C-alpha cells in the first residue's frame, strides 16, 4: 500500500471515528442530567412537606424507575394541593433547565391507584417558547386537595431536547469532506492511470528500446535515456524508414532548415550523439553512406 493510500485511509478512518463519536452523543437523562433531576425533585418534596408544616420527616431517595421516569416518595403522610404541586415542579424544573415535556402522576401507596395526574409541555410559536400546562386530573374539581395519605409522585419525561441536532451540521460536513477526499483520490488515480496508460502506449519500438518522441526519451529495461530535440527529430526520421538511406539534405532540411537555421557539420555531431545512446543495443546501428546520407540498420 503506497504512502498516499495509507495517509488517505487513516484520515478517512479518523473522520468517520469523530463522526461516530458525535452521532453517539447520548440523549439519556442520566448522562445529560446526572443529579439535577434528583435534586430538583427532592426540593419539590421538601417544599411539599414544609407546606404540611412538617420540618422533621425525610424525603426518601429519588428512585430512577427507568431512563425517563423518576419517583419521589416520603417518609410520612401528607396533604397534596394539585395547584402547588404543578407550580413547584414547574419552577424547580425551569431553574434547573430540565426538559419541559413531562407527565406527573400522584399514586396512592396503599393501592397504587392514580389520585391525580397532569401533562406539561412547552410549545414553540413565532414569538418564542410559551409554556403552558394542560392538566388531566382524575379529580375533576380544581382546588380540591388530596387528603392526607401516603403518596408516590412519579415524573416521566416525554420529550428531550436533542443534543445531536447541535452537531448535525458537523456530521454532514465530516461526511461530505470524507466523500470528497475519497472521490478526489479515486479520480486522480484514474486520471493518472489513464495518462500513464496513454503514455505507455504512445511509443515506437526500435530494437530493444521504447522510443517516446513526444517525451524526447528512450527506455530500455527501465533505464531512461534523454534525447535532445534535434536528436529526437533525427531518430524519428531514421526510424520511419529502417534500413533505408535517408539523404543528408533531407535530414538537414527537415531538422534545421525548416526552422530557418542552416548549419554545416551539426548533422554529423548529432548523429554521433545518437550512436552513443543506441550503442547498448547491438541490433541497432546508424551507418554513414558516404556522400549520400545515413541509415538506421535494424538487425
DSSP string, 123-191: EEETTEEEEEEE---SS-STTPPEEEE-EEEEEEEEE---SGGGGHHHHHHHHHHHHHHHHHHHHHHHH
In a domain, 174, yes or no: no
- Give yes or no: residues 155 and 82 share one domain: yes
- Give yes or no: residues 134 and 225 share one domain: no
The pLDDT assigned to 223 comes to 86
The pLDDT of residue 159 is above 70: no
In a domain, 66, yes or no: yes
Q: Is residue 219 within a helix (H) or strand (E), and if so which, with residue range?
A: strand 217-220
Most confident of 100-114, 126-140, 264-278: 100-114
In a domain, 191, yes or no: no
Total of domains in the chain: 2
pLDDT of 168-192, one tens digit each? 666 667 777 777 777 777 777 777 6
The pLDDT assigned to 80 comes to 94
- Give yes or no: residues 95 and 208 share one domain: no
In a domain, 171, yes or no: no
In a domain, 185, yes or no: no
Q: Tell me how far apart the alpha carbons of residues 226 and 15 are, in angstroms, rounded to a whole number.
A: 45
Domain carrying residue 260: 204-298
In a domain, 95, yes or no: yes
The pLDDT assigned to 201 comes to 56
Q: Are 90 and 84 in contact (CB under 8 A)?
A: no
**Cβ neighbours, 10 Å, residue 50:** 10
Once rounded to an integer, what is the mean pLDDT over residues 46-52?
95
In a domain, 236, yes or no: yes
- Give yes or no: residues 157 and 66 share one domain: yes
- Give yes or no: residues 39 and 127 share one domain: yes
Q: Tell me how far apart the alpha carbons of residues 161 and 275 are, in angstroms, rounded to a whole number.
A: 82
The owner of cell 479518523 is 14
The pLDDT assigned to 100 comes to 84
27 vs 114, more confident: 114
Cell triple for 132? 403552558
Q: Tell me how far apart the alpha carbons of residues 89 and 153 are, in angstroms, rounded to a whole number.
A: 11
3: pLDDT confidence band, cut at 50, 70 and 90?
low
The pLDDT assigned to 164 comes to 45
The pLDDT assigned to 66 comes to 82
Amino acid at each position: 500500500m503506497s504512502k498516499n493510500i495509507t495517509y488517505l485511509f487513516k484520515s478517512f478512518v479518523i473522520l468517520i471515528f469523530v463522526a461516530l463519536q458525535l452521532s453517539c452523543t447520548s440523549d439519556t437523562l442520566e448522562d445529560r442530567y446526572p443529579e439535577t433531576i434528583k435534586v430538583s425533585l427532592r426540593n419539590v418534596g421538601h417544599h411539599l412537606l414544609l407546606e404540611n408544616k412538617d420540618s422533621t420527616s425525610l424525603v426518601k431517595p429519588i428512585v430512577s424507575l427507568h431512563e425517563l421516569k423518576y419517583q419521589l416518595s416520603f417518609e410520612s403522610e401528607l396533604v397534596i394541593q394539585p395547584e402547588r404541586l404543578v407550580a413547584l415542579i414547574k419552577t424547580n424544573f425551569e431553574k434547573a433547565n430540565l426538559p419541559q415535556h413531562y407527565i406527573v402522576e400522584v399514586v396512592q401507596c396503599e393501592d397504587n391507584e392514580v389520585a391525580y395526574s397532569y401533562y406539561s409541555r412547552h410549545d414553540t410559536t413565532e414569538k418564542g417558547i410559551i409554556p403552558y400546562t394542560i392538566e388531566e386530573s382524575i379529580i375533576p374539581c380544581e382546588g380540591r386537595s388530596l387528603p392526607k395519605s401516603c403518596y408516590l409522585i412519579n415524573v416521566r419525561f416525554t420529550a428531550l431536547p436533542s443534543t445531536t441536532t447541535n452537531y448535525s451540521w458537523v456530521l454532514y460536513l465530516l461526511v461530505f469532506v470524507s466523500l470528497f477526499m475519497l472521490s478526489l483520490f479515486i479520480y486522480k488515480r484514474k486520471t493518472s492511470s489513464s495518462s500513464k496508460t496513454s503514455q505507455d502506449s504512445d511509443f515506437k519500438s526500435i530494437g530493444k528500446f521504447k522510443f517516446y518522441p513526444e517525451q524526447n526519451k528512450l527506455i530500455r529495461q527501465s533505464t531512461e535515456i534523454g534525447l535532445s530535440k534535434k536528436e529526437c527529430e533525427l531518430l524519428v526520421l531514421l526510424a520511419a524508414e529502417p534500413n533505408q538511406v535517408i539523404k543528408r539534405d533531407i535530414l538537414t532540411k527537415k531538422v534545421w532548415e525548416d526552422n530557418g537555421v542552416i548549419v554545416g557539420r551539426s548533422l554529423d555531431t548529432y548523429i554521433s550523439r545518437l550512436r552513443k545512446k543506441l550503442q547498448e543495443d547491438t541490433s541497432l546501428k546508424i551507418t554513414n553512406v558516404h556522400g549520400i546520407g545515413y541509415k538506421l540498420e535494424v538487425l
